[in-house]
Chains A and B, each alone.
Chain A
Amino acid sequence: MAAKEFKCKVCGYIHKGDKAPDVCPVCGAPASEFEEIKKGFDTNGNAYTIIYASIVVIVVAFLLAFVSGALKSKQDENVVLDKKKQILSSLNVDIKSCADPAAEYAKCVKGEWILNCYGDVVDSTGGFAIEVSKENSKPLEERQLPLYVCEKDGAVKYVVPVRGAGLWGPIWGYISLDSDMSTVFGVYFSHESETPGLGAEITQPKFKEPFKGKHISRNGEFTSIEVVKPGKTFEDADYVDGVSGGTMTSQGVNAMLKQGIGQYVGFFNKEVK
């Protein structure tokens, strides 16, 4: 048996000998096109296959665990910072020109309250850690409703988080209200997987701007703000134009506002009286 085998990469001819031939006798390729066939253990055996698979899986598992562990704290920071940015953005703070959003947040937001559905303040701290998505799946009486009490340009504002369903996935937002608990000061909307260019337009100023100055109640009755098809009007409440081509997402925003802000009506009524 020859010591080594060489395979021509062009035609597949196998040459036996100590070194590659100068020219491939089949297709005429030069020696550089020959590759030595390594003869080790049988790479097709069952034992080898199983051991190989196990090693690969274990190496990858350790690698991923290490990466995840190393980056976890950094990612959590990002999530917290992102939430703060979203709240600030509903208060009409220009996030892009803001050098230190965390400091700005500490300056603006004076309280992170927890309310119940009857409008009582259960706790005046800890509201930030509450996840609206989890609360929404509980019965109304057991929900903890976070409310951010903020100060912007010397006036008190209340920021209400809302969360609902769009066309493809969850949508959420923050609505800031003036101290009369009715006039919208600013809004922020975001989404997980709405269609870019259609439903995803709810994050754009063109959709958000018209909310400013609208009222969520009339004569003390909660009416929410209707999101209507562009060009349509609505009699019984203030309304804004939805996204053309994003009807399902617009309806999602509409439902989210009704349900989300509606939970706080108890608190609004108490405060205004």
Chain B
Amino acid sequence: MGLFSKKSKEVFVTPLLGNNPVTMQILGICSALAVTAKLEPALVMGISVTIIVALSNVVISLMRNTIPSRIRIIVQLVVVAALVTIVSQVLKAFAYDVSVQLSVYVGLIITNCILMGRLEAFAMGNSPWDSLLDGLGNGFGYAMILVIVAFIRELLGSGTLLGFTIIPQCAYEAGYLNNGLMLMPPMALIIIGCIIWVQRSKNPEL
């Protein structure tokens, strides 16, 4: 098996569209609601989750043949919790502003269903290299949905993107109003629902 064999490529690409963890497996929805009111925290959250899924996938894949099956979930949790704590400590030491901005959400990555889902479904039965690709693929798939939702919510809810004003002042003078509902968590659910709708109607196989 080469480094970029057909299977490896498939492992990386399918979670991006065909089997996206958020829109197809409906995992990680809580954090998708919580951090998507603005684009910037959504980006940082997407990157953090990608790094942690990829790393924990590799670690669990390396340990997979030694883990006693009766306590495998606990072992997975310990590995994930340790990695998240390390990432959060490193952020505090070297990127203090970002860690302040993400506050509790970094810690909550531990409870993100995507992580446990990938560890249990993939890393326990596949080689470290494939697990790394699978982790990256799922992380990017998750980040992609977060960014799309945050883009829509920030643009329509605050009229800005990454903090820069996009909707011109003259639009407000002509009577345009920011949609306050966009900033509420239910709107994230509705947008994700719309994305799932579009995705399913484009692809009749699903």
A82: chain B residues within 8 A (beta carbon): 96, 100
Binds B, one of A41-49, A113-121, A135-143: A41-49
- On whether the beta carbons of B75 and A197 are closer than 8 Å, the reply is no
Question: Are A57 and B93 interface neighbours, CB within 8 A?
Answer: no
The B interface, classified by DSSP as helix, strand, loop or mixed, is: helix
Chain A residues within an 8 Å CB radius of B78: 56-57, 60
Q: Is B157 an interface residue (CB 8 A)?
A: yes
Cross-interface CB contact of B96 among A67, A78, A195, cutoff 8 Å: A78
Number of A-B contacts (CB under 8 A): 76
- CB pair A193–B82 under 8 Å, yes or no, is no
* A42: nearest chain-B partner, CB-CB: B68
With a cutoff of 8 Å between Cβ atoms, the chain A residues found around residue B157 in the complex are: 197
The CB with the most chain A CB atoms within 10 A, among B67, B92, B94, B180, is that of: B92
Verify A197–B183 contact, CB threshold 8 A. yes
Q: Count of chain A residues with Cβ under 8 Å from any Cβ of B? A: 31
Of the A-B pairs whose beta carbons lie under 8 Å apart in the complex, a sample of 23, sorted by A's number, is: A9-B125, A38-B65, A43-B67, A43-B68, A43-B69, A44-B69, A52-B71, A52-B75, A53-B68, A57-B78, A60-B82, A68-B89, A71-B90, A75-B96, A78-B92, A79-B96, A195-B37, A195-B183, A196-B35, A196-B37, A196-B41, A198-B183, A245-B180
Enumerate the 8 nearest inter-chain pairs by beta-carbon distance, A residue then B residue, closest first. A197-B183, A78-B96, A71-B93, A197-B37, A74-B93, A196-B37, A49-B68, A60-B82
Instruction: Give A residues with C-beta under 8 Å from B.
Output: 9, 32, 38, 43-44, 48-49, 52-53, 56-57, 60, 63-64, 67-68, 71, 74-75, 78-79, 81-82, 192-193, 195-198, 244-245
Task: Given contacts A57-B78, A60-B79, list 9 more A-B pairs with CB under 8 A.
Answer: A52-B68, A53-B74, A67-B86, A78-B93, A78-B96, A81-B96, A195-B37, A196-B37, A244-B180
